Chain A
């Protein structure tokens, strides 16, 4: 019923019988959010509203210096090599993509003349081609014009394996061809409903062909411009000291009117998050500091009568506990947690459900994450159209105990449950990180009350997230019963986020544990839903498929969501940054200004 109504409404908007605003409001009324509503319109053939961030200055420049403090400074300035967000943020100061994501998860055109839609002929109905048009007259910082050749070159550069670009995956499975000087056509091998990945966001930044053409492939690291970016951004490159400082100055020929506001730009690196928050909020030495993962209590104290405040950008980042479906303690063919085994305790759905009942999300939010977290029962938490309303969570030691009793785990003499002479003992691992160790303690305490003996283990982050095949402590090997970490959602689309739990993605010795399905959960319905969503061009059906996939994960307790996390930034009281939970912090830098 909803489906049909929606279609009528989309047609109404198309024909002008209903305006966008009314449509969005109706959608919000039925529980969708604005970005979702807009996405529906765009897929339904209505051009996306170009929703620039609020911007008050009426002339370019004159804003003095903008001082940014990144407690891990950028170490390189080529967006195709940007390993961490710090490098993406640094590159983004000078390079620009065709479009960026704004706070609501809308595409905001940067170098593109307009956002492709079915209406303007940019998108094909079969979701196999996208046509992007460049804004005319955009120049590189060295005065050369930006053309379609540059775009095609970026695709070639990133997909050449010898270049060793980290953006390779973003540009895979597609061909990019030049239509005319300002137009390109992307052709996907498969119908691709989420077409806005290549040339958009952090890995979509475009580097100039005339400076990098000679350095494609194995010579990529010799390019002098790896360290001296020449981009199209609002600020021109001045100086770069890896890990310490990036400096820029206003680009007087910037392609957007009245932008940018600041005359110079400085991004300082180094130190730690707490003192970065202090330098912005308490002493005002800096205007903006990134990724302030500090206990809320400390931030609240700094904010009292300070010179700045904290800002929260909500995206889809999820902190969760994953459950191992295979046996980490039995070795089969030289492989622990092998697909040929079943977890002796956790393969019982009742035990997994009991564990989910023992995670006290409210306390974790109150004690640890504060304003930077939201409790949730879902693995998939955004954008709104993909968020399931069918799930719920609760914390109840009694219910958990009842479930465990039912599963045959009886409380033994020492308070620990046992079954067939085996103790109910679980190994719970995570990376070393203050909030994670505190969460472990809270969960362990509740488990103890329910008669589960939990052993805690924490691994240095650089090891835990490493792809080192020889190391037994990586999250992908999962030589533990449950493990906890955060998976970020880098774009407002769930495709990549959900695909990792497909059965073909299972991490095994054969694929050198590169598979991303580390809980080693296999569910045919889930596979079918994700596969169908990958090529489903109807946005509503596609959203339903992802909601179904999320619900399957919830029913089976594959993961226990702990916290839906927001990005925390420290910002001076006078600065007006344009932030989005769906983008990097510097992605809409052209719209930043100062007031008061």
Chain B
């Protein structure tokens, strides 16, 4: 088992190198300039802009810039942001807690809805409950988050005035009041993201369950007199969860990566909004760091998913 994990990690190194190279080249080839804003400012002579480009190495050839980046990354130096003139890792760590809180809660909400609803719908296929659940699931994943986000804002903030639509990381309260306010301002973004995720996940859980529920060993379990609850939870769900685990594992990096659109709408200072503002400002080191960390997480969670298979289904062995 440990040998298997080690081997997988070794394989990950060349693929991560490849990913970083592709990311870097694509970013370097993309047009734009982090100091473009200075161009029309008559107060700043063009030489200043040129000097800044030279100082930050933007005029060096791509391979040199890549090697510099790689060497620095290997030593744990993530580079520094052109736009903020501060270290990229500080910038990312500053935003990580918010993203983990909001996107993590949304994923939990999605799971909390999808698993019970999907399982229950699968035990009674084509019943009224199943039909309703299906209808909502289709509506849910057909509506994009930028639409539901703005709809929620119009209803709950503008018309009803119940919830704030600007997410604040700086709440002037302590203890219970602080916690309540944190929950209150997260309700809309969490609902928007969570319901969207829940919709597709419900469909997924339902079909995974239906695949398993018809198998002979389930009939056997029932025949030996086990109760419905026990059959479903112990025998059906455990096997049906294998594909669901893959799905969840692949969505975990997104918990760290943030949700670009939703974060922008609700002004949540997470990784997603950092990524989009860095892309717009051509702040390559930040974009590079965020996307690369994202790539690492995808590789890591794939590995975790593979390890989890073995626990869920002992027949799967590691070689």
Which residues of A pack against B, CB within 8 Å?
A: 65, 69, 72, 75-76, 78, 81, 83-84, 161, 164-166, 168-170, 172, 197, 202-203, 221, 226-227, 239, 241-245, 247, 266, 268-272, 275, 278-279, 282-283, 285-286, 460-468, 471, 473, 475-476, 485-491, 496-497, 499-500, 511-512, 514-516
Q: Given A242-B84, A242-B86, A243-B269, are A279 and B35 neighbors across the interface (CB < 8 Å)?
A: no
User: Roughly how many angstroms separate A125 CA and B92 CA in the complex, as a whole number?
Assistant: 54
Determine the chain B residues whose CB is within 8 A of the CB of A65 once the complex forms.
172
1/0 per residue, CB under 8 A from A, across B23-64: the answer is: 000000001111111111111111111111101100000000
Q: CA of A464 to CA of B38 in the docked complex: distance in angstroms?
A: 12
A227, B42: Cα distance in complex, Å: 26
Q: Produce 1/0 per residue, B78-117, CB < 8 A to A.
A: 0011011110000100110000000000000000000000
Q: Which of A83, A161, A202, A473 contacts B35 (CB 8 A)?
A: A83
Choose among A270, A466, A497 the residue that contacts B273 (Cβ–Cβ < 8 A): A270
A539–B264 alpha-carbon span in the complex (Å) = 49
Extra contacts besides A226-B85, A272-B264, A460-B32 (10): CB < 8 Å: A75-B281, A83-B35, A166-B38, A168-B51, A169-B47, A242-B83, A243-B84, A465-B39, A466-B36, A516-B42
List, in ascending order, chain A residues with CB within 8 A of B281's CB.
75, 462
Q: Which of B49, B55, B170, B268 contacts A266 (CB 8 A)?
A: B170
| Stretch of B157-165, B230-238, B299-307 contacting A (4+ beta carbons < 8 Å) | B157-165
- Report whether B36 and A476 are in contact in the complex, using a CB–CB cutoff of 8 Å: no
Q: Which residue of A lies closest to B43 (CB)?
A: A490
Q: How far is the CA of A172 from the CA of B45 in the complex (A)?
A: 10
Interface residues of B in 216-273 (CB under 8 A from A): 264-265, 267-269, 273
Residues of B268-313 whose CB lies within 8 A of A? 268-269, 273-274, 277, 280-282
Contact of A69 among B48, B95, B166 (CB under 8 A): B166
Residues from chain A with Cβ under 8 Å of B265 in the complex: 271, 275
Contacts A76-B85, A241-B269; A467 near B46 (Cβ below 8 A): yes
Cα A203 to Cα B45 with chains together (Å):
13
- Cβ-defined contact, A466 with B264, below 8 A: no
CB neighbours (8 Å) of B55 from chain A are 164
Chain A to chain B contacts (Cβ below 8 Å), 19 pairs: A65-B172, A75-B83, A75-B84, A83-B37, A197-B43, A221-B80, A239-B170, A244-B273, A268-B166, A268-B267, A282-B158, A283-B157, A463-B33, A465-B37, A465-B40, A467-B38, A489-B42, A497-B42, A514-B50
**Which of A172, A247, A462, A499 contacts B282, CB < 8 Å?**
A462
Q: Is B153 an interface residue (CB 8 A)?
A: yes
Q: Is the CB of A467 within 8 A of B35?
A: yes
Q: Is the CB of A278 within 8 A of B158?
A: yes
A78 to B34 alpha-carbon distance, docked (Å): 17
Closest to A459 in B: B31
Please classify the interface of chain B as helix (H, G, I), strand (E, B), loop, or mixed, using the class held by over half of its residues.
loop
Bound together, the chains give a CA A64 to CA B272 distance in angstroms of 32
Residues of chain B with a CB closer than 8 A to A84's CB: 37
Among the listed B32, B80, B165, which residue makes an inter-chain contact with A462, where contact means beta carbons less than 8 Å apart? B32
Q: Which residues of B contact A285 (CB under 8 A)?
A: 164-166
B80 touches A245 (CB 8 A): no
Known: A247-B170, A489-B42. A461 touches B36 (CB 8 A): yes
Q: How far is the CA of A475 from the CA of B48 in the complex (A)?
A: 18
Q: Does B207 contact A (CB under 8 A)?
A: no
**A203 to B95 alpha-carbon distance, docked (Å):** 29
Q: Indicate if the CB atoms of B47 and A283 lie closer than 8 Å.
A: no
Does B169 have its Cβ within 8 Å of any Cβ on chain A?
Answer: yes
* Cβ–Cβ contact A170 & B170, under 8 A: no
A578 and B164 alpha carbons, distance in the complex (Å): 28
B residues near A227, Cβ cutoff 8 Å: 86
Collect the chain A residues with CB atoms within 8 Å of residue B91's CB. Answer: 242
Q: How far is the CB of B90 from chain A (nearest CB, A)?
A: 9
User: Which residue of the partner chain B has the closest CB to A201?
Assistant: B43
A221 touches B32 (CB 8 A): no
A468 to B46, CA, bound (A): 12
Closest Cβ of chain B: how far from A239's Cβ, in Å?
7
Chain B residue with minimal CB distance to A86?
B37
Nearest CB of chain B from residue A192's CB, rounded to whole Å: 15
- CA gap between A172 and B47 in the complex, in Å: 12
B:153-190 near A, CB below 8 Å: 153, 157-158, 161, 164-166, 168-170, 172
By the criterion CB–CB under 8 Å, are A164 and B51 in contact?
yes
Check A466/B42 contact, CB under 8 A, given A283-B158, A283-B161.
Answer: no
Cβ of B153 and Cβ of A275 under 8 Å apart? yes
- Name the prevailing secondary structure of the A interface residues: loop
A268-B166, A283-B161 are contacts. A166–B85 as well, Cβ < 8 Å?
Answer: no
Asked if B43 contacts A462 (CB within 8 A), the reply is: no
CA distance A499 to B48 in the complex (A): 17
Q: How far is the CA of A587 from the CA of B267 in the complex (A)?
A: 25
Cα A338 to Cα B107 in complex, Å, equals: 58
Q: A279 to B163: give the CA distance in the assembly, Å.
A: 12
Report how far A358 CA is from B265 CA in the complex, Å: 39
- Nearest-neighbour CB distance to chain A for B63, whole angstroms, equals 16
Q: Which residue of B lies closest to A244 (CB)?
A: B269
Cβ B39 vs Cβ A467 within 8 A: yes
When A203-B43, A221-B80, A271-B265 are in contact, do A468 and B31 touch as well, CB less than 8 Å?
A: yes
Question: Are B83 and A463 in touch, CB under 8 angstroms?
Answer: no
Chain B residue nearest in CB terms to A203:
B43
- For A161, the chain B residues whose CB sits under 8 A away are 51
Provide the bound-state CA to CA distance between A75 and B280, in Å. Answer: 13
Chain A residues lying within 8 Å of B157, measured Cβ to Cβ, are 283
Q: Are the CB atoms of A164 and B52 closer together than 8 Å?
A: yes
Interfacial chain B residues near A488, Cβ < 8 Å: 40-42
**Cβ of A565 to closest chain B Cβ, rounded Å:** 13
**How many Å lie between the Cα of A581 and that of B46 in the bound state?**
24
Query: What's the nearest-Cβ distance from chain B to residue A542, in Å?
Result: 17
CB distance from B235 to the nearest CB of A (A): 49
Nearest opposing residue in chain B for A162, CB measure: B55
CB-based contact B269/A169 at 8 Å? no
Residue of B nearest to A170 (CB): B43
The complex places the Cα of A466 from the Cα of B35 at a distance, in Å, of: 7
Shortest distance in angstroms between A505's beta carbon and chain B's nearest beta carbon?
Answer: 9
> Which one, A203, A245, A473, contacts B169 given CB within 8 A?
A245
Shortest A237–chain B CB gap in Å is 13
Contact of B277 among A243, A268, A460 (CB under 8 A): A243
Residue from A75, A168, A282, A476 within 8 A of B48 (CB atoms): A168
Most chain A CB atoms below 10 A, which of B36, B55, B91, B153: B36
Asked whether A476 and B41 contact (CB < 8 A) given A243-B273, A275-B165, A516-B46, the answer is: no
Collect the chain B residues with CB atoms within 8 Å of residue A271's CB. Answer: 166, 264-265, 267
Chain A: CB-nearest residue to B45: A169
CA–CA, A285 to B184, complex, Å?
15
Q: How far does the alpha carbon of A93 sit from the alpha carbon of B56 in the complex, in Å?
A: 28
* Residue from A72, A468, A496 whose CB has the most chain B CB atoms within 10 Å: A468
Please measure, in the bound complex, the distance between the C-alpha atom of A282 and the C-alpha atom of B281, giving whole angstroms: 30
| Complex A-B, nearest 3 residue pairs according to Cβ-Cβ distance, in ascending order | A466-B33, A244-B269, A514-B46
Q: What is the CB-to-nearest-CB distance from B167 to chain A, in angstroms, rounded to a whole number?
A: 9
Given A69-B166, A275-B153, A467 and B50 touching (CB < 8 A)? yes
Contacts of B282 in A (CB 8 A): 462, 466
Q: In the complex, which residue of chain A has the Cβ closest to the Cβ of B40?
A: A487
Which residues of chain A are within 8 angstroms of B166 by Cβ–Cβ distance?
69, 268, 271, 279, 285-286
